[in-house]
Structure 1
């Protein structure tokens, strides 16, 4: 009995569900009563919002894009900041998180790749203990957005409802928003190489087989498994961006997270 009580006392308290901070928000932002939805009323800027509490390394911030507006350029920005929103007067917030807030404070944010924040898309982002900012869109491959987030102090999530992104909603990370599929990293065994059919992307190296792999952590998906495996073995550098390749996964279904890297 005593051991049980001791174990329960040492257990980590459940984290408060993430909400938008009620006061530290851009001039054009309107929140719903639960502070789960943030909408930008007009223009394409003044849409900065923060989480109401710090987000520890590895915790996923999950949101859904509710509304997309085509008449602007650029879209949702996500990241982390050491600014405590409780001490940030709303009128002092700049119009943009990138580069304005980054230049004024210890803030690290990035825009999602083009086409990755359309209405209905579910975006998950987090920072790991090595200071790398990652994102996933619709449970797809991990995308490395940037490096160099300074660790060692509390970090609040920061989002910019910018440009084409008109409204976002915070979601419960524990809920299942997608069908589950078995993740699968490529092994050394041969994988059948289908030829690229009409309308399918062909491998950017052999120009013959279908592009069916994802390089991690950069997220590029332009290669067949044979070519991707050869590049991984020979140089371990992505041919598109030159990032170090740490794993190669099949492009269908969400890739598994290697131990220690995504947490």
Structure 2
């Protein structure tokens, strides 16, 4: 491919705003707005673009979908690569990120679902310190796309303006360009399972419910400032504030107390008042 790998980066270097690399791009890509917007000129392929600088673990890459072309199938692909775009021979770029560039180089990417790449959607993706690739669209639940990204060496963000995705704009997360609202429940399959199960007595479920409750006024065990109001699923530890729990999910996806893998996080609250199973159903329904 005419590319070289890079194995050195300064993690303490200041993080300037993330922009597209001016030279390393697909044959159909045109950059606009000071390297912050990438547009595919024609066809449905040859739309690979790279970040101009390496991206640190847990650093979000945020973009907005600007233009959608309905006559194609499939859309944006995102991921990370060890290919240094400054040492990359652009004419040798393959037409597709998935699977071509992945097969030719140490690159880890994923195809985003169609509903994630609609015009106006804000897409954030990142890789945590464990090598897990996540994506978050607007204020929806984060999705884990891969668990095999090789961290430890410099990684550049790589995107493919494929198919329906004609143009994207890189956003500055520090400039308030990202959605701030977050749902109460993140991918909480465990609670959804409970909600769909046959009627059970509260006594039967009391051990489960006790996992998701906190003592009034209890402080977060990480920051010791905010109120503990969030629990981790499935281990059930609930001594965290929402901000700290989100950072833990983003960075390691491992409970700080028991080291169990975090599948989701949910709002902790007091258990339902004693009574009928209808109270329990209403309690669970309010979470989802």
TM-score for both structures, normalised by structure 1: 0.70
Any gaps of 5 or more consecutive residues in structure 2?
1-11, 198-204, 209-232, 237-241, 252-288
Give the 3-state SS of the residue equivalent to 2:51 in structure 1: strand
Matches within 5 A, 1:15-54: 15-54=15-54
- The Cα of 1:221 is off from its aligned counterpart by 11
Instruction: Measure, in 2, the Cα distance between the counterparts of 1:181 and 1:120.
Output: 16
Matches within 5 A, 1:87-236: 87-177=87-177, 180-181=180-181, 184=184, 213-215=185-187, 223=192, 226-227=195-196
Higher Cα Rg: structure 1 or 2?
2
Instruction: Measure, in 2, the Cα distance between the counterparts of 1:132 and 1:65.
Output: 23
TM-score for both structures, normalised by structure 2: 0.64
Give the 3-state SS of the residue equivalent to 2:103 in structure 1: helix
Instruction: Measure, in 2, the Cα distance between the counterparts of 1:71 and 1:256.
Output: 43
- Write out the 4+ residue segments of structure 1 that deviate beyond 6 Å after TM superposition: none
Instruction: Measure, in 1, the Cα distance between the counterparts of 2:38 and 2:159.
Output: 10
Q: Which has the higher helix share?
A: 2
Matches within 5 A, 1:66-105: 66-105=66-105
Q: CA separation of 1:227/1:14 partners in 2, compared to 1, >3 Å: closer, same or farther?
A: farther
- The Cα of 1:145 is off from its aligned counterpart by 1.0
Superposition RMSD on alpha carbons, in Å?
Answer: 2.9
Instruction: Measure, in 1, the Cα distance between the counterparts of 2:193 and 2:121.
Output: 26
Aligned length in residues: 204
Instruction: Measure, in 2, the Cα distance between the counterparts of 1:115 and 1:183.
Output: 18
